Amino acid sequence: MTLKCVIIDDEPLAAQLLRSYAEKIPSLELVGVFSSAIEASKTIRSNRIDLAFLDIQMPELSGLEFAKLLPKETKIIFTTAFNQYAIEGYKVDAIDYLLKPISFEDFTLTINKVISKFQEEKSIPLEHSDRFIYIKSDYKLLQLRYDDILYIEGEKDYVKFYLEGQTKPITSLMNLKKVEERLPSPEFMRIHRSYIVHMSKVKTVDRYRFVFGDKFIPVSSSYKDEVDAFLNGHLLS
């Protein structure tokens, strides 16, 4: 098994050390070394990356913030000099946490853990590989295809799904957090406490407002960094 990996660390010496370790492991294919999350985002969007070595403390966008934007299939190993971030790291499903200075022994043990995790997942049928979900609405089960969803709005205990080609939303009794956890990220991104947007359906962004016809959905300040990272990763410049 060969895993494609990236290293994201704004400390040149730390990044170089990780590079030297990765190049010694036959099961790792190093795709790139980056000094910031913004710089790495284009490569991650255009390649299937299995593993990201991610520094937590970085300018512009921290490793913890960037981890929330990574595809679910990308495993995360946090690297940092501060062990107080360990709990936060596991909150975003990091597979491991390496404390600097990192020894080759610790690095190797972590890679073995990652490989075991991938092998375990390959042996288990994927439950959510289909591109649709079922929701309850008006005492019926309705199938919603991911490709039909434009955006989702949360209103207290209800969620409204706005679909392509339909003027009225489909309403279901559930909370927006549950929907966010179920949908693939960053294809679907939380941009506001009340909205999840299907990013591939966004044709126009007007001053941090996502435009769907005559509907303008604002990006709240708490999600601005994540949205910036996604948009910059797709920006032709």
**127 falls within a domain:** no
pLDDT in the model for residue 122: 66
Is residue 16 assigned to a domain?
A: yes
Q: What per-residue string of b and e applies to 170-206 under the rule 16 or more CB within 10 Å gives b?
A: bebeeebeebeeebebbbbbbbbebbbbbbebbeeee
CATH number at residue 12: 3.40.50.2300
Phi-psi region of 129 (alpha: psi -120 to 50; beta: other; left: phi over 0): alpha
Tokens of 52: 């990201």
| Alpha-helical regions (H) of the chain | 12-22, 37-46, 63-67, 86-91, 104-122, 176-182, 224-233
117 and 136 belong to one structural domain:
no
Q: How far apart are CA 188 and CA 197, in angstroms?
A: 6
Domain extent, residue 17, equals 3-122
Work out whether strand 149-155 and strand 140-145 pair parallel, antiparallel, or are unpaired: unpaired
**In a 3-state reduction of DSSP, which class is residue 222?**
helix
Q: Are residues 116 and 19 in the same domain?
A: yes
Contact 230, 41 (CB under 8 A): yes
Question: Are 15 and 80 in a shared domain?
Answer: yes
Residues 168 and 222 in one domain: yes
The per-residue pLDDT for 237 is: 63
Q: Which residues of the chain have pLDDT under 70?
A: 83-92, 122-129, 237
Instruction: Check residue 153 and give its pLDDT.
Output: 97
Look up the pTM and report it: 0.53
pLDDT digits (tens, 9 = 90+) for 85-136: 545 544 567 888 888 899 999 999 999 888 888 877 765 444 445 789 999 9
